[in-house]
C-alpha cells in the first residue's frame, strides 16, 4: 500500500491556504466523482499517509503544500445534498457511491514547486501527474518521488515524518521500495479501461448523474463556458474560506 499520495485541488475551489484556515486545519476531501480516484480513497488511503497538495488549473499549477490523512474513507456528504455541485441523486444513502477522507495541513510549500520544474526533473519520471493526458485527481506517489518533491520544495526534513512521530506513529517501518502506486495504475490506456470497468462493480451505482452534476457546479464558479471547474472537489462544506466549488477531483 502506498504511503504517499498526490491530491489535486483547484485553488479557486479550495487552496492549500484554505486548508490551513479551515477548522482544525482539516477538511473532508469531498467531490471526487471519478471511480479510479474514489477507489484509491475508499480502499488504499490510510490514516497517517502523506499527501502532496497540488494546485491544478492554477497559474501556475504546482505543489502548494503537504498534508496528512487523519480520517479514512467515509461517505462524502455532498453526494446527498441537492445544493451541492457534486450532488448525486442516484447515490443510495444505504450504500453511498462516493467517499471522502479527511486531511490535515502539515506544511506549506513556499514558493510552490511549479509543474514546469517538475517536468524538467528526471528523478520524477514515472510520476502519474506528469504522464501525458493524466487527469487522475488522487493517485499514489512512490517514496522516491515523495522525497524528490520535498527536496524541490526545499525541505531538509520530512514534515510528514515529523507529524507521524509527534502522533506516535511508527516511522520505522521503512517504505522500502515497495512500489505501491505504480502497481495500481494502469500501464496503458487499454489497461486503464479495464481498471475502470473493474472499479465500477464495486460501486454498485451508476455514475450517470454525476456528470450532469459536474457541469452544474461549474457554472457556479466560472462563468465561462463550459469550462471547467476546478479540479478539486473540495469545497464544500466547510467554508472557512471563500470557497468556490469544484468538480471532481477531490476537493
Binding site for DNA (CB under 7 A): 8, 10, 33-36, 56-58, 61, 115-116, 119, 131-137, 189, 192-193, 196, 206-211, 214-215, 218, 224, 226-229, 231-232, 247-249
Q: Which is nearer to DNA, 163 or 232 (CB)?
A: 232
Across 123-250, where does the E strand assignment appear? 138-141
Q: Which is nearer to DNA, 133 or 168 (CB)?
A: 133
What minimum distance in Å lies between the beta carbon of 110 and DNA? Answer: 19
CB atoms within 10 A of CB 4: 23
Q: Among all chains, which residue has been given the C-alpha cell 485553488?
A: 11
What minimum distance in Å lies between the beta carbon of 24 and DNA? Answer: 26
Question: In sequence order, which residues have a C-beta less than 8 Å from that of residue 152 and are 6 or more positions away?
Answer: 63, 113, 117, 118, 121
What minimum distance in Å lies between the beta carbon of 208 and DNA? Answer: 3
Q: Which is nearer to DNA, 46 or 135 (CB)?
A: 135
CB atoms within 10 A of CB 35: 22
What minimum distance in Å lies between the beta carbon of 56 and DNA? Answer: 4
Per the CB < 8 A criterion, the answer to whether 67 and 7 are in contact is yes
Q: Which is nearer to DNA, 33 or 145 (CB)?
A: 33
Phi, psi of 143, rounded to the nearest 5 degrees: -60, -35
Amino acid at each position: 500500500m502506498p504511503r504517499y499520495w498526490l491530491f489535486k485541488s483547484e485553488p479557486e475551489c479550495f487552496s492549500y491556504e484554505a486548508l490551513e484556515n479551515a477548522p482544525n486545519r482539516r477538511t473532508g476531501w469531498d467531490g471526487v466523482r471519478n471511480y479510479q480516484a474514489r477507489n484509491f480513497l475508499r480502499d488504499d488511503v490510510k490514516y497517517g499517509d502523506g499527501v502532496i497538495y497540488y494546485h491544478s488549473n492554477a497559474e501556475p499549477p504546482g505543489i502548494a503544500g503537504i498534508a496528512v490523512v487523519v480520517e479514512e474513507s467515509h461517505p462524502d456528504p455532498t453526494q446527498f445534498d441537492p445544493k451541492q455541485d457534486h450532488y448525486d441523486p442516484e447515490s443510495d444513502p444505504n450504500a453511498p457511491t462516493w467517499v471522502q477522507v479527511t486531511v490535515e495541513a502539515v506544511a506549506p510549500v513556499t514558493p510552490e514547486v511549479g509543474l514546469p520544474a517538475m517536468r524538467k526533473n528526471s528523478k520524477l519520471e514515472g510520476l502519474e501527474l506528469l504522464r501525458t493526458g493524466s487527469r487522475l485527481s488522487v493517485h499514489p506517489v512512490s517514496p522516491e518521488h515523495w522525497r524528490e518533491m520535498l527536496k524541490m520544495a526545499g525541505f531538509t526534513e520530512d514534515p510528514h515524518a515529523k507529524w507521524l512521530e509527534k502522533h506516535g506513529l511508527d516511522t520505522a517501518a521503512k517504505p522500502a521500495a515497495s512500489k505501491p502506486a505504480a502497481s495500481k495504475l494502469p500501464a496503458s490506456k487499454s489497461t486503464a479501461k479495464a481498471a475502470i470497468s473493474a472499479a465500477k462493480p464495486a460501486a454498485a451505482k451508476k455514475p450517470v448523474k454525476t456528470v450532469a452534476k459536474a457541469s452544474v457546479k461549474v457554472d457556479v464558479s466560472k462563468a465561462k463556458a463550459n469550462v471547467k471547474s476546478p479540479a478539486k472537489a473540495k469545497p464544500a462544506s466547510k467554508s472557512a474560506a471563500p470557497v468556490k466549488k469544484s468538480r471532481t477531483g477531490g476537493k
